[in-house]
Copies of this chain bind each other. A is one copy, B any other.
């Protein structure tokens, strides 16, 4: 490829609407162009990189016995009605009618299509386990598209579906797929990625993991333990609270707390440790606006995902109506008045505290010395709080939890029989009995992975692409290509490299060295060869790496061999970073 032919402009100014570095670089570098909200076109460099990512994914999916198929983007709504998700999934599922008036959806995930494809086939247990996957466009009507390809509405995704006759078989395969994912991310050059336990959300099923690329721009919050290998998405992280030393019981007293509506104000006013306070947070169910009242220790916060799962319904922050009887700011368990049908959730962060300060359900009054068992009754405690820094690890028990941010670059789910049951897929076992197969599903967003790696691997001048996913491998910069010798050296090296199968770009435009190098930095190819008048006089060219770990002047005659050796080394390093296949 000649730079003079490459479609797409590279420029210096940071676009105003880009808050994320990788987004700005991919716009400035001529990788992507926005077409509408969360909808992008890819220029050739981005398309070449996504194809390489797709190929790495394909190789690793094939290596764990995956069979590539293709499902439609536009699906009849009937399939989603069968699974029940046509009703249960929100507006992110794009629904439309075709010209015949039939309900259809744009696939945002393909469990239904996967079951549809195989449900008439795998009638006997001997056909199990198996896995099918596709790499295909998906559409998810995201309300919060952002960050270039990080969060979009239309995207290319690899989604895989495995089918099993036992939980054991699923878990074994799940682990194999986990390893395949580690290989994929490592081969693509991602460095700081971890897998974390996650919440299964609308997918159903029990155990699931997300692969997170640790990054300050990540929208996901990850809980990790400094003492052991515990890792979870905040949404799924268990919160253990140590209330040792807080057991002392006191007398119940009504105290005047004028206009003190936050628990911090009350604690300060009463000179009390916030650990002795019980706060209330109120939500409403989306379906009927009935109230959900959550009580938790004053220094804790509600994990809304856990709360949602606990009450089994979508919720939103409450707008408390006066006639409800709920006294906002002074809500407590004792003498609580709330409409019939309200749900009261008591977080286990309150368990074991002998004496609590809590609202008295009348304006400007709190109780002190409130004891749940004595003053309220026996309760079922739920785990609704967010885990926090320094919190207790659910795995090793040490108070060494840490909280960081990550971008979700992949996920794996143990789905169970949710879809096979709903869509009536059955097989016959050794004893001629019918069963529903157990499923797993496994996703990777291709464009997001590209953008995430750009986010992890860039400098102020542009992306520093790992060689495995770089649009091309080598860039030849010919400074002063109007000089015949420069042009000859550059172009014959270009041809030699291309003939040797090295993906090469040559820039022989009559532009300044500054602009040429800036554009090369924005293209971010891992190896650069600079042919310049000064080098030329010495009979050398300069071979360097985009990540600045290598720079060498080599005789023109050795340039090709040097480039090829460097390239080989780069591939080896990335492949060596990937764990063995299992």
User: Counting CB contacts under 8 A, is A121 at the interface?
Assistant: yes
User: Counting CB contacts under 8 A, is A228 at the interface?
Assistant: no
Q: With the chains together, A401 CA to B47 CA distance in Å?
A: 46
A134-147: contact bitstring with B at CB < 8 Å (1 yes, 0 no)? 10110101010000
Choose, from A90-98, A212-220, A419-427, A535-543, the stretch at the interface.
Answer: A90-98
Q: With the chains together, A40 CA to B134 CA distance in Å?
A: 14
Q: Which of A5, A6, A70, A134 has the most CB of B within 10 A?
A: A70
Q: With the chains together, A76 CA to B40 CA distance in Å?
A: 11
Q: List B contacts of A116 (CB < 8 A).
A: 33, 35, 41
Asked if B67 and A44 make an inter-chain contact with CB atoms under 8 angstroms apart, the answer reads yes
Contact A7 B118, CB 8 Å, known A44-B68, A72-B40, A73-B154: yes
Taking CB as reference atom, which chain B residue is nearest A114? B41
A77-106: contact bitstring with B at CB < 8 Å (1 yes, 0 no)? 011000000000001101010111010101
Minimum C-beta distance from A34 to chain B (A): 10
Asked if A69 and B91 make an inter-chain contact with CB atoms under 8 angstroms apart, the answer reads no
User: Counting CB contacts under 8 A, is A43 at the interface?
Assistant: yes
Contact A121 B7, CB 8 Å, known A94-B96, A153-B74: yes
Asked if B65 and A5 make an inter-chain contact with CB atoms under 8 angstroms apart, the answer reads yes
Q: List B contacts of A48 (CB < 8 A).
A: 68
User: Counting CB contacts under 8 A, is A117 at the interface?
Assistant: yes
Q: Which of A36, A100, A136, A137 has the most CB of B within 10 A?
A: A36
Q: With the chains together, A121 CA to B30 CA distance in Å?
A: 10
A-side binding surface: helix, strand, loop or mixed?
mixed
Q: With the chains together, A398 CA to B143 CA distance in Å?
A: 65
Minimum C-beta distance from A472 to chain B (A): 12
User: Counting CB contacts under 8 A, is A9 at the interface?
Assistant: yes
Asked if A117 and B69 make an inter-chain contact with CB atoms under 8 angstroms apart, the answer reads no
Q: With the chains together, A76 CA to B36 CA distance in Å?
A: 6
Q: With the chains together, A72 CA to B143 CA distance in Å?
A: 18
User: Counting CB contacts under 8 A, is A71 at the interface?
Assistant: yes
Q: List B contacts of A44 (CB < 8 A).
A: 67-69, 132
User: Counting CB contacts under 8 A, is A113 at the interface?
Assistant: yes
Contact A117 B75, CB 8 Å, known A50-B70, A137-B137: no
Taking CB as reference atom, which chain B residue is nearest A134? B47
Q: List B contacts of A141 (CB < 8 A).
A: 98-99
Asked if A37 and B67 make an inter-chain contact with CB atoms under 8 angstroms apart, the answer reads no
Q: With the chains together, A73 CA to B91 CA distance in Å?
A: 19
Q: List B contacts of A65 (CB < 8 A).
A: 5
Taking CB as reference atom, which chain B residue is nearest A7? B67
User: Counting CB contacts under 8 A, is A254 at the interface?
Assistant: no
Copies assembled: 2
Q: List B contacts of A92 (CB < 8 A).
A: 99
Partner of A43, one of B51, B72, B117: B117
Q: List B contacts of A9 (CB < 8 A).
A: 120-121
Asked if A154 and B36 make an inter-chain contact with CB atoms under 8 angstroms apart, the answer reads no
Asked if A137 and B36 make an inter-chain contact with CB atoms under 8 angstroms apart, the answer reads no
User: Counting CB contacts under 8 A, is A39 at the interface?
Assistant: yes
Q: List B contacts of A230 (CB < 8 A).
A: none
Taking CB as reference atom, which chain B residue is nearest A43? B69
Minimum C-beta distance from A59 to chain B (A): 13
Q: List B contacts of A394 (CB < 8 A).
A: none
User: Counting CB contacts under 8 A, is A18 at the interface?
Assistant: no
Taking CB as reference atom, which chain B residue is nearest A75? B35
Q: With the chains together, A69 CA to B132 CA distance in Å?
A: 27
User: Counting CB contacts under 8 A, is A130 at the interface?
Assistant: yes
User: Counting CB contacts under 8 A, is A577 at the interface?
Assistant: no
A286-313: contact bitstring with B at CB < 8 Å (1 yes, 0 no)? 0000000000000000000000000000
A1-41: contact bitstring with B at CB < 8 Å (1 yes, 0 no)? 00001111100000000000000000000000101110111
Minimum C-beta distance from A474 to chain B (A): 18
User: Counting CB contacts under 8 A, is A42 at the interface?
Assistant: yes
Minimum C-beta distance from A119 to chain B (A): 10
Asked if A36 and B75 make an inter-chain contact with CB atoms under 8 angstroms apart, the answer reads yes
Q: List B contacts of A117 (CB < 8 A).
A: 33, 41, 43
Contact A70 B41, CB 8 Å, known A5-B130, A36-B76: yes
Minimum C-beta distance from A74 to chain B (A): 5
Given contact pairs A5-B130, A44-B68, a sample of 16 additional A-B residue pairs in the complex whose CB atoms are under 8 Å apart: A7-B67, A9-B121, A33-B116, A35-B71, A37-B98, A39-B76, A47-B68, A47-B70, A74-B94, A74-B139, A74-B153, A74-B154, A94-B98, A96-B96, A98-B141, A137-B137
3 tightest Cβ-Cβ pairs between the two chains A and B = A36-B76, A96-B96, A42-B70
> 25 A-B contacts, Cβ less than 8 Å apart?
A6-B67, A7-B69, A7-B121, A7-B132, A33-B116, A35-B72, A35-B116, A36-B72, A36-B78, A36-B104, A37-B76, A37-B98, A37-B102, A40-B72, A41-B117, A43-B69, A48-B68, A51-B68, A73-B73, A73-B154, A74-B106, A74-B139, A94-B99, A96-B96, A99-B141
